[in-house]
Amino acid sequence: MTQWKLAQRAERMNPSVIREILKVTEKPGIISFAGGLPSPKTFPIADFARACATILAREGEAALQYAASEGFPALRQWVADQLAKQSAAAGVPWAVDPDQVLITTGSQQGLDLVAKILIDAGSTVLVETPTYLGALQAFTPMEPVFASVSSDDEGVMLDDLRAKVAGATGARFMYVLPNFQNPTGRSMSPKRREDFVAAAAELNLPIIEDNPYGDLWFDEPPPAPLAARNTEGTVYLGSFSKTLAPGLRLGFLVAPKALYPKLLQAKQAADLHTPSFNQRVVAEVLKDGFIDRHVPTIRALYKSQCEAMLAALDQHLAGTGITWNRPSGGMFLWLNLPAHMDAVKLLPMAVEHNVAFVPGSAFYADNPQTNTLRLSFVTASVDQIKIGIAALALSLKAAL
Amino acid sequence: MTQWKLAQRAERMNPSVIREILKVTEKPGIISFAGGLPSPKTFPIADFARACATILAREGEAALQYAASEGFPALRQWVADQLAKQSAAAGVPWAVDPDQVLITTGSQQGLDLVAKILIDAGSTVLVETPTYLGALQAFTPMEPVFASVSSDDEGVMLDDLRAKVAGATGARFMYVLPNFQNPTGRSMSPKRREDFVAAAAELNLPIIEDNPYGDLWFDEPPPAPLAARNTEGTVYLGSFSKTLAPGLRLGFLVAPKALYPKLLQAKQAADLHTPSFNQRVVAEVLKDGFIDRHVPTIRALYKSQCEAMLAALDQHLAGTGITWNRPSGGMFLWLNLPAHMDAVKLLPMAVEHNVAFVPGSAFYADNPQTNTLRLSFVTASVDQIKIGIAALALSLKAAL
């Protein structure tokens, strides 16, 4: 029988912890705060149906044919215009050239492409503490050494950043998610952004800025992207998964012109191009200012669900020594349990109470804080949130 | 200004030669035999329109949500059933379990995943002579050493296979495209398949079998897949790009159960999953035997176009010392020019005559045969083929 010999990098790949957890939580009747699934109520199904019909009737042959690896021109233009508009409104103008925009098969693919062109085996990659699990999974096959930079409520801590850069021989980049971070829900403060960008420039440290949640603010938009402040030193990743729908797998990146050709070559080798049909359908949906009418409805829904979750946490867990943050947007919030508690061990007990979460330890490149957990407030309804948090509180208090 | 340091593998990535050539050939009025674009006349646009409407009306929320990395169950089942049916009809039963099927974002992504889990820097990868350029591009970022195995009209030559395996320390796999190969259009003979599979098993050499064109036979279906004869030693790659439409980016692979989990982990890290909407739409189109009604129309069209091209070549180039093969399916045929001629130098002259091809040298991992070129007979109509081949013959005879 043929023996397959695996590449070294394959030995480092592991099943997604979250994926395995989600399997456990698939039992009927469970209220899950575990997954990061946008509320399907927000999907503009009728608009997609109209756009599919229009595209197939008007330009079916082109929409179903092979297409350029860079992406559909009208969609690249929309991304450039939208980022320029948002950055200008946030006070830091950013002149995005559509030629810098690469359409990707979800923003996850952007992480894969960045990893391929920037990480050698043994390269140091800096990440936040904690950080997005999907980024760790995308980077890991290229065999980096991760260095976790300490973070506080305002974001990356600059003293530790300097120490970690000094301790590495040529860190390739730092990966940051400045707005409503996955997993914590926290955002980088305006002052910290300014200082972080300045420090990165001074340290000659490239930045990979991931912004899937930036549009999901509750009361006011986040500050301008880091990329707007450091255009040549930042690759910016964005997504349509949270503002339209994830099932189309449409994301994008904006790269400095010096880096773009290599990302494009990696993209071409990875899947030739992102589905042209999906790109044209989304460009059709987005024209005429659709996003400005649609996203406010998502914001209002998620804000109401976040408030319901915070109210329920206040009601059931105040004074227990368990603490949590109050996100100003996004999809997640973060609980800190007393130091002796291990969220991995608590999960089966919660599942017995018909409620699920993700243990925080999944989100650390090293030295996991086992007494943390992530709650999503977007998938469950307000009524489910009330019931689910009451159940979660019961199981946590039983363990206290 | 921030200095980006590229990974070593990025230095080995290059712009696609074909891509650059296609740019040259984009001048208006040119008849292009260069690209590998399926005839858009074959795209079942009305069926897609009906399926999009049905899916969005019936299961819009699920179709637009995140989904499993393995792929949509009904589509995996369809693939397993179809392969089992075809293999049985070809006399080599293959019991494909849907759990072995991984839906990919085009079969190009299958090549990327295979490369990630099987190739270390410096690993030997065996390829045909010539071979599919997209496979070279997908494998190259993982920094293999390519070894080109000599091929004749029946496929891979086994003496050279044994020599190349003996000369390498642990070749990771051999990549083959047995049916209507890209670029040559040739197929592996039944006897050669049997001997190749036996030799690979004896040499402990895994096989990556790529079969995007197998359904495009003119008069009789090709022999059963190599994978049917060596289920544990072969990863089989397939595609919907040539039988339905490439713009949906839908392909699949079938892996031995021992290898599947690593391919799945690589898939998840690469783009989480292939667009769930596209998978459901295609599963809807495919139900009730659609492929058995649809693909015969593609076969008939491509056969007529291939015959037109062969007739025009006979008419204009017989007796010139230029030779070509007579494919029994697929999309391409292959010209051999007299040894002193270089197709790369001939291309600009052909473009002046308003006709384009791909120089064969693009398809060799090493030692390119510069006196070869690839012609696609599927994109241009019969009338365009007559005009285009006459023009090509003029420019070639001028250079003789």
The minimum CA-CA distance between A166 and chain B, rounded to whole Å, is: 16
The minimum CA-CA distance between A316 and chain B, rounded to whole Å, is: 31
Within 10 angstroms of residue B259's Cβ, the number of other Cβ atoms is 21
Sheet holding A358-359, edge to edge: A323-324, A332-336, A372-376, A358-359
Q: What percent of chain B has pLDDT over 70?
A: 97
Candidates B18, B19, B249, B268: best to mutate against A (most CBs of A within 10 A) is B249
Candidates B14, B20, B32, B66: best to mutate against A (most CBs of A within 10 A) is B66
Q: How confident is the model at residue B169 (pLDDT cuts 50, 70, 90)?
A: confident
Strand partners, A235: A208
B272-331 residue pLDDT tens = 999 999 999 999 999 999 999 999 999 999 999 999 999 999 999 999 999 999 999 999
**Contact residues on chain B for A258, CB-CB shorter than 8 A:** 4
Within 10 angstroms of residue B82's Cβ, the number of other Cβ atoms is 16
Strand, helix or coil for residue A75: helix
Q: How confident is the model at residue A169 (pLDDT cuts 50, 70, 90)?
A: confident
A226-263 residue pLDDT tens = 999 999 999 999 999 999 999 999 999 999 999 999 99
Backbone dihedral region of A330: left (phi > 0), alpha (psi from -120 to 50 degrees) or beta?
Answer: left
3-state secondary structure A26-38: CCCCCEECCCCCC
Q: How confident is the prediction for chain B on average, in pLDDT?
A: 95
Backbone angles phi, psi at A128, to 5 degrees: -75, 170
Quick one: CA torsion of A280, A281, A285, A288, rounded to 10 degrees? 20
Within 10 angstroms of residue A354's Cβ, the number of other Cβ atoms is 18
What is the ipTM, given to two decimal places?
A: 0.96
**Contact residues on chain A for B233, CB-CB shorter than 8 A:** 1-2
Whether A197 contacts A224, CB under 8 Å? no
Which of A109, A204, A277 faces B270 most closely, judged by CB atoms?
A109
Which of B61, B249, B259 faces A43 most closely, judged by CB atoms?
B61
Cβ within 8 Å, pair A108-B6: no
Chain B contact for A39 (CB, 8 A cutoff): no
Q: Where are the extended beta strands (E) located within chain B?
A: 31-32, 101-104, 124-128, 145-149, 151-152, 155-156, 173-176, 207-210, 234-239, 251-254, 323-324, 332-336, 355-356, 358-359, 372-376
Residue of A nearest to B278 (CA): A248
The minimum CA-CA distance between B70 and chain A, rounded to whole Å, is: 12
How far is residue A235's CA from residue B192's CA, in Å, rounded to a whole number?
Answer: 49
Candidates A109, A126, A249, A259: best to mutate against B (most CBs of B within 10 A) is A249
Backbone angles phi, psi at B123, to 5 degrees: -65, 145
Q: Over range A313-321, report the average pLDDT.
A: 97
| Element at A117 (helix H, strand E) | helix A106-118
Chain A contact for B269 (CB, 8 A cutoff): yes
Assigned token pair, A213: 């949640």
How far is residue A333's CA from residue A360's CA, in Å, rounded to a whole number?
Answer: 11
**Contact residues on chain A for B265, CB-CB shorter than 8 A:** 10, 13-16, 137
A141, pLDDT greater than 80:
yes
Assigned token pair, A387: 């019931």
DSSP string, B273-323: SS-HHHHHHHHHHHGGGHHHHHHHHHHHHHHHHHHHHHHHHHHHHTTSS-E
Residue of A nearest to B67 (CA): A247
Residue of B nearest to A204 (CA): B2
A21-45 residue pLDDT tens = 667 666 788 999 998 899 999 999 9
Which of B15, B108, B116 faces A271 most closely, judged by CB atoms?
B108
Residue of B nearest to A65 (CA): B247
The minimum CA-CA distance between A367 and chain B, rounded to whole Å, is: 22
Cβ within 8 Å, pair B64-A248: yes
Q: How confident is the prediction for chain A on average, in pLDDT?
A: 95
Q: What is the pTM of this model?
A: 0.97
| Number of residues written out for chain A | 400
Candidates A226, A234, A272, A381: best to mutate against B (most CBs of B within 10 A) is A272
Q: Which of residues 71-100 of A touch B (CB under 8 A)?
A: none
Establish, for the pair of chains A and B, how many residue pairs have beta carbons separated by less than 8 Å.
269
Q: Which of residues 155-184 of B touch A (CB under 8 A)?
A: 170, 172
B235-256 residue pLDDT tens = 999 999 999 999 999 999 999 9
The minimum CA-CA distance between B206 and chain A, rounded to whole Å, is: 6
Chain A contact for B35 (CB, 8 A cutoff): yes
Q: How confident is the model at residue B18 (pLDDT cuts 50, 70, 90)?
A: low
Cβ within 8 Å, pair B138-A258: no
Assigned token pair, B49: 């329109």
Q: Over range A128-156, report the average pLDDT.
A: 96
* Residue B315: C-alpha distances to residues B304, B309, B389 (Å): 16, 10, 10
Residue of B nearest to A280 (CA): B247
Cβ within 8 Å, pair B120-A258: no
A205, pLDDT greater than 90:
yes
Assigned token pair, B160: 């050279």
The span from the first CA to the last CA of chain A, in angstroms, equals 54
* Residue A10: C-alpha distances to residues A131, A271, A384, B263 (Å): 22, 20, 40, 9
A338-384 residue pLDDT tens = 999 999 999 999 999 999 999 999 999 999 999 999 999 999 999 99
Strand, helix or coil for residue A191: helix
Assigned token pair, B215: 């359904």
Which of B10, B35, B249 faces A262 most closely, judged by CB atoms?
B10
**How far is Cα of residue B221 from the mean position of the Cα atoms in its chain?**
17
Quick one: CA torsion of A312, A314, A315, A319, rounded to 10 degrees? 140
Q: What percent of chain A has pLDDT over 90?
A: 92
Chain B contact for A112 (CB, 8 A cutoff): yes
Quick one: CA torsion of B313, B314, B317, B321, rounded to 10 degrees? 120
B268, pLDDT greater than 70:
yes
What is the structure's pLDDT at A22?
Answer: 65
Whether B222 contacts B329, CB under 8 Å? yes
How far is residue B321's CA from residue B317's CA, in Å, rounded to a whole number?
Answer: 8
Candidates B102, B139, B234, B277: best to mutate against A (most CBs of A within 10 A) is B277
What is the structure's pLDDT at A17?
Answer: 67
Quick one: CA torsion of B190, B191, B195, B197, rounded to 10 degrees? 10
Q: Over range A94-108, report the average pLDDT.
A: 98
The minimum CA-CA distance between A287 and chain B, rounded to whole Å, is: 20
Cβ within 8 Å, pair A201-B2: yes
How far is residue A127's CA from residue A131's CA, in Å, rounded to a whole number?
Answer: 6
Which residue is listed with tokens 């712009």?
Answer: B15
Which of A10, A52, A262 faces B13 most closely, judged by CB atoms?
A262
What is the structure's pLDDT at B27?
Answer: 74
DSSP string, B373-385: EEEE-SSS-HHHH
Q: Strand pairing of B234-239 and B251-254? A: antiparallel
**Contact residues on chain B for A229, CB-CB shorter than 8 A:** none
Which of B43, B53, B276 faces A49 most closely, judged by CB atoms?
B53
Chain A contact for B113 (CB, 8 A cutoff): no
How far is residue B216's CA from residue B220's CA, in Å, rounded to a whole number?
Answer: 10
Chain A contact for B276 (CB, 8 A cutoff): yes
Within 10 angstroms of residue B353's Cβ, the number of other Cβ atoms is 18
Cβ within 8 Å, pair B262-A138: no
